[in-house]
Amino acid sequence: MEAATSPTPKGASPPLEMPQSVASSDPKIAAQQASDMRNIVRRKLTGYVGFANLPNQWHRKSVRKGFNFNVMVVGESGLGKSTLVNTLFNTSLYPPRERKGPSLDIIPKTVAIQSLSADIEENGVRLRLTVVDTPGFGDFVNNDESWRPIVDNIEQRFDAYLDAENKVNRMNIVDNRVHACVYFLQPTGHSLKPLDIEVMRRLHTKVNLIPVIAKADTLTDEEIAAFKARILADIKYHDIQIFEGPRYELDDDETIAENNEILSKVPFAVVGATAEITSADGRKVRGRRYPWGIIEVDNEEHCDFVKLRQMLIRTHMEELKEHTNNALYENYRSEKLTGMGVAQDPSVFKEVNPAVKQEEERSLHEQKLAKMEAEMKMVFQQKVAEKESKLKQSEEELYARHREMKEQLERQRMELEEKKSRIESGRPLEEKGKRNKFSLR
C-alpha cells in the first residue's frame, strides 16, 4: 500500500477504512492516526505475491501448537455447573456424582478452589481446557468474604504470568489466567441477591464475566423475560461490566446481526444435559424428559444454551483471551508495578509517528518562544518603569531648583526696588549698608 496526501489517484480504489489497532488518548495523536487511516488507498496487484497465504501459515502454526482455554464457574451448589461444562464441551469432564446421605464429616468453612484440566481434540484441533470450580461458594450461613478465595485465585494466576514474563527465558510461558467466568444465578425469578451483586462487583474488573440463569426449565418464558430485565437493571445500577463481544468496523451485516442476537440473550437462561433422549418425532436429542414433555438443550426455542456456546466457544473464545491479556491483565499489571514503586513511562508503549513527533516538537518550541517573549516583555516593562521613576525624580528636582531660583530672583528684585525708592527719596545708601553690615555681625 502507498500513502496518499491528495485525492484518490486515478486507477485506485476508494480509501480503505481500517480499524485502529491502538487507540491513543492524546487527541492530536488520535487525529493524526485517523488522518493516516483515511489516506490509505487500495492498490491492485499485477501478479501473485504470496501474502494471501498468511492466514494459512497462521492456521498451520496454531494447529501445530494447539490452544488453551481457562474458564471459571462460580455459583452455589446444586445449580448444575458440572453438568453445563460437560454439555458445553460434549465430554464427561466431570464424572457423574453419586448422591450420598447426610454426612458427619466436618463441613469446610471457606470456599475451596479446584482446578481440572483436560486435553480434548476436535477435527485435528487440540485444546487444553482448564475448568476452575468453586465448591462451597454461597453454601454457608455467613457468606461474608466468600468472594475472597476466588479473587485471590485469579490474582495468583496473574502474578504467576507476570513472574514468567519477567524471567530471562520466556520461550514457553504457560497461560493459566482465567479467560472467562460463567456466573450461575439461582432461578428465583426476582432480582440479584446481595451476595451475587457483591461478588460480581469484585470480579468484573479481573475477569470476563458471563452471567447465566441456571436451571431455566423451572421458569416459564414470561418469568425468564421478567427475571432477565431485573438482572440487567441491577447490573446497570451497580455499574457491573459484563463481557460483550467486540464490534469491528469491517464486520458484515450478518456478523453484526449474529452478535446482536447473542447479546440480546444475556443473561443466558440455560439448561444442561448430557443424556440423549428420543423426541416425539423420533429424533435423538440431548435434553431432559418431564411429565409434561421434553426440553431440548440444543433447541434455541427451549433455552439459550446455543447462544452461550456461541459466545464462549464458537465465535468469541479468542476475543475472551485477547480482552483478558490486553485489558484485564494489563490493568492489573500496571497497578501491581505501580504499587511496587516501578514507574512506567506511557511514551514507551506509544506508537512513534514522525509527523506527530515533529508536531509535538514544534508545539514545545512555540511554547518555549512564548515563554521567552513573556520574560523579555516583563524585563522591558520593568526597565521602562525604572526609567520613568528616574525621569519623574529629575523633574521634581528641576522644579525645586526652578522655584528656588525664582524666589531668589524675587528677593533681588525687591531689594533693587527698595534701593530705587531710597535713591528717589534722597536717603543715603551707606547707612543702609552700615546697618546691614552691623546686622550681619
The residue-averaged pLDDT of 361-368 equals 89
pLDDT surpasses 80 at 301? yes
pLDDT at 28: 62
> Each residue of 306-364: pLDDT tens digit?
999 999 998 899 999 999 999 999 999 988 888 776 655 555 445 556 777 788 888 88
Of the listed ranges 45-49, 196-200, 224-228, 230-234, the one predicted with least confidence: 45-49
Closest listed residue to residue 374, CA positions, set 385, 382, 386, 364 = 382
- Per DSSP, the three-state class of 136 is coil
Confidence (pLDDT) at 329: 93
Higher pLDDT, 380 or 167: 380
Confidence of residue 9 (pLDDT cuts 50, 70, 90): very low
Q: Closest Cα partner for 238 from 201, 189, 186?
A: 201
The predicted pLDDT at position 428 comes to: 62
Going by the DSSP 8-state scheme, the letter that residue 213 receives in this structure is E
**Separation CA 441–CA 427 (nearest Å):** 23
**pLDDT score for 351:** 53
Which pLDDT does position 437 carry in this prediction?
47
Mapped onto helix, strand or coil, the DSSP state of residue 133 is strand
The string of pLDDT tens digits covering residues 400-425 is: 999 999 999 999 999 998 888 888 88
21 or 286, which is more confident? 286
Which residues have C-beta within 8 Å of that of residue 102, sequence separation ≥ 6? none
**Domains of the chain: which residue ranges?**
66-97+106-351, 363-440
Q: What kind of fold does domain 66-97+106-351 have according to CATH?
A: Rossmann fold (3.40.50)
- Count Cβ atoms within 10 A of the Cβ of residue 190 and give its class: 0-12 exposed, 13-18 middle, 19 or more buried: exposed
Predicted confidence at residue 37, as pLDDT, reads: 63
**How do residues 62-121 score in pLDDT, each as one tens digit?**
788 888 999 999 988 888 888 899 999 988 887 666 655 555 455 555 577 888 999 988
* Total residue length of the chain: 441
Rounded to whole angstroms, how far apart are CA atoms 314 and 305? 12
- pTM, entire model: 0.65
Give the model's pLDDT for residue 40.
Answer: 73
**Average pLDDT over every residue of 19-38:** 58
How many C-beta atoms surround the C-beta of residue 79 within 10 A? Answer: 21
